[in-house]
Structure 1
Amino acid sequence: MLFRTPRTPAPRRACVTLAATISLALAATACGGTTKDSVRDDDSARSTDAKADPDAATKKGLTVGFLPKQVNNPYFTVAGKGGEKALRELGSTYKETGPNSATDTSGQVSYVNTLTQQRVDAMAVSAQDPGALCTALKQAMKNGVKVVTYDSDTKPACRHVFVSQASAEALGRSQVRLLGEQLGYEGDVAILSAAQTATNQNTWIGFMKDELDKPRYKNMRLVKTAYGNDDAQQSFQQTQGLLQEHPKLAGIISPTTVGIKAAAQYLSGSKYRGKVLLTGLGTPNDLREYVKNGTIEAFELWDPAKLGALAAHTAVALSSGQITGTKGETFRAGGLGSFTLGEGGVVDLGRPTVFDKENVDRYRF
């Protein structure tokens, strides 16, 4: 396995810095756009009388469409390559489509509809918005398409299985805990997120705020949550703005790969390098130089290639009838091992890895 159990960086003021990363959508069709009233949380689209058969033969010749939040985003490119490799080994075909912008929610809807019209067997979608895709995804399921979400979920009634990077609660809380240790649990902090509608970002941030409410953080204050829309320039400018608006800022958490890299770029070339601590979710290839020059002491992430591969295996298992999306069902995902579906049809990839000067050169993604 690529990952080892994350270790907790030593406290700072004699301390260390942490980081971690991440992720994100489509348009109205002839059926009309999605409205609040048109999205229902019932399970009618995904319900089935079929029973899972874990011993069923794995189907070959399937076509699985991958729909990331944004094409040409390095994170999703790596995830897509992982999915493509897994599908090739399974004897099926990989197909990718999606918007160029990480905030083009209406565009993501149109791509869901296109994949449905192309009669793909399954689709793996990273949702930009928890509700905006529901109408299109439910229609896809009614047409027999197996729907997997990965990286960022939609509403449970609008897909069969969500392939999660790790426990959302663990990811949200761990970033606060690591930054707290580094700051000695004292100082003003900010969050640099992706889009305001990003499901995974908002879920993690909810757990971050809950963690900050605990007594041990009484001397840490969240002063602002900024949004860079997973755009490098916007995230760079938001980092600059945070430091101008809050001159006593002690730390930044950026749970998005684009955001943390942009924040590291700004801090690296400023008087704040090594003074304002940065943590969040990022890739070793993006952040290696910033670890080595002292801008970042540590960060964390899972292997996005494995996330894409697990999404592909899950899509094929659904299409083969080995699972239906019900809690307790199990399936094998090749070299990744066996997985069991949890509450709400969620399967976790596993625990992320912490990267620092000692190990960052051993990872290439």
Structure 2
Amino acid sequence: MNTRAVASLVGTALLISACGGTTKSDVARQQSSAPSAASSSTANPNAPIKQGLKIAFLPKQVNNPYFTIADRGGSDAGKEFGAEVKEVGPSDANASSQVSYINTLVQQKQDAIVISANDPNAVVPALKQAMDAGIKVVSYDSDSGQDGRHLFINQAGAEDLGRTEVQLLAQQIGSKGKIAILSATPNATNQNTWIDFMKDELKKYPDMELVKVAYGNDDDQKSFTETQGLLRSYPDLKGIISPTTVGIAAAARYLSSSSYKGKVKLTGLGTPNQLRKFVKDGTIDGFELWSPGDLGYLAGYAAAALASGQITGAEGEKFKAGRLGEYTVGAKGEVLLGKPTVFTKDNVDEFDF
């Protein structure tokens, strides 16, 4: 992706945190839990990034197109500051499938672990052991419990994302009709938080009815089957929101070859290369996403800044992330990448990722 496209992607549209259903009480609990596990040492913003750092990316699942792009961005960052960056992880997205990988990375004495948590709680004990061993922990895309990491690299504000996806679909269906959500896993932190805000935003649209939240487990075939099931159960469905890159692609594939094409609107989170043909053939009017490559790139620099002592994870600290510029650590150790872009037939060809 060219520099102009990157700049446009990081700086345009409007919202978020792809590639499971939370309640308001769950969000409040997360926000009121222990502060991020910042080191008690003093940050030195002028410290150079250490050479030869070992940084491991642990996505929800390997061979997922979204995480392949994101982790490649982390690898690109590592090349810039002289680190050894690798990707490891499970082929499934089950709640506890990442724990054994964390334990192995601790034994390998990695300098930093960058994780997208399948379950916010299941990974915390293992991550705490990693932190006790001196390993810096950065979550990205989907947060772990706050006491299991130093920083969370968030795509953007979760509330913005949840609300704007409802707004996008409302525009496409005239703010009227039955809709469904096709999510990833039931325990996915980011998915659940977005869905909670979607439900709240739907209160502004009394003629739109959420009839079901389905889960494709970020598996292509299951997501395809779940889409088929939604249409069989609700033949008068007007729209589907799928806030997962695997789910939206599978749903688009089903709709594009069915009698529902053009009748059932689909939006959510996906990549331009993945969904371009479905935008051009009319299956999808518009969808949104941030740059997954930039997300991984930022997470890589954040991990290096922690491991080099430039920051500890405390609110207000600043660090530089290569071509993306300077970032500030926010409350609870959160760092926001920026706002995603809405992709339509008018701009989808301007992006290549």
State the match for 2:25 in structure 1. none
State the match for 2:23 in structure 1. none
Q: In the TM superposition, what is the alpha-carbon distance from 1:42 to its structure 2 partner?
A: 5.1
State the match for 2:83 in structure 1. 92
Alignment partner of 1:276 is 2:276: no
Within a 5 Å distance, the mapping from 1:127-166 to structure 2 comes to: 127-166=117-156
State the match for 1:357 in structure 2. 345
**Any conservation in 2 of the 1:291–1:298 contact (CA below 8 Å)?**
yes
Distance in 1 (alpha carbons) for counterparts of 2:226 and 2:79: 41
C-alpha RMSD of the superposition: 1.7
- Share of identical aligned residues, percent? 58
Task: Determine helix, strand or coil for the equivalent of 2:171.
Answer: helix
Partner deviation per Cα, 1:232-283 (whole Å, 9 max, x = no partner): 1100110011011111110000000000000000100011111100000000
Report the AA paired with residue 59 of structure 2: P
Distance in 1 (alpha carbons) for counterparts of 2:328 and 2:14: 25
**Any conservation in 2 of the 1:21–1:257 contact (CA below 8 Å)?**
no
**Any conservation in 2 of the 1:21–1:260 contact (CA below 8 Å)?**
no
Report the AA paired with residue 132 of structure 2: K
Q: In the TM superposition, what is the alpha-carbon distance from 1:67 to its structure 2 partner?
A: 0.4
Distance in 1 (alpha carbons) for counterparts of 2:229 and 2:297: 38
**Any conservation in 2 of the 1:21–1:281 contact (CA below 8 Å)?**
no
Alignment partner of 1:258 is 2:246: yes
**Any conservation in 1 of the 2:14–2:160 contact (CA below 8 Å)?**
no
Q: In the TM superposition, what is the alpha-carbon distance from 1:47 to its structure 2 partner?
A: 5.0
**Which of the residues 293, 307, 313 maps onto 1:319?**
307
**Any conservation in 2 of the 1:251–1:278 contact (CA below 8 Å)?**
yes
Distance in 2 (alpha carbons) for counterparts of 1:42 and 1:167: 20
Q: In the TM superposition, what is the alpha-carbon distance from 1:327 to its structure 2 partner?
A: 1.1
State the match for 1:345 in structure 2. 333
State the match for 1:6 in structure 2. 13
Partner deviation per Cα, 1:336-358 (whole Å, 9 max, x = no partner): 01111111100011000111111
Residues 131 and 295 of structure 1, relative CA distance in 2, 3 Å threshold? same
Report the AA paired with residue 179 of structure 1: L
**Which of the residues 57, 61, 75 maps onto 2:52?**
61
Q: In the TM superposition, what is the alpha-carbon distance from 1:96 to its structure 2 partner?
A: 1.4
**Any conservation in 2 of the 1:330–1:338 contact (CA below 8 Å)?**
yes
TM-score when normalising by structure 1? 0.89
Report the count of equivalent residues: 334
Q: In the TM superposition, what is the alpha-carbon distance from 1:291 to its structure 2 partner?
A: 0.5
Distance in 2 (alpha carbons) for counterparts of 1:330 and 1:304: 22
Report the AA paired with residue 295 of structure 2: L
4+ residue runs over 6 A deviation: none
State the match for 2:201 in structure 1. 211
Q: Which runs of 5+ in 2 are unaligned?
A: 1-6, 21-32
Task: Determine helix, strand or coil for the equivalent of 1:222.
Answer: strand
Residues 244 and 355 of structure 1, relative CA distance in 2, 3 Å threshold? same
Within a 5 Å distance, the mapping from 1:26-65 to structure 2 comes to: 46-65=37-56
**Any conservation in 2 of the 1:67–1:125 contact (CA below 8 Å)?**
yes
Q: Which runs of 5+ in 1 are unaligned?
A: 9-19, 25-40
Q: In the TM superposition, what is the alpha-carbon distance from 1:191 to its structure 2 partner?
A: 0.1
Distance in 2 (alpha carbons) for counterparts of 1:251 and 1:235: 15
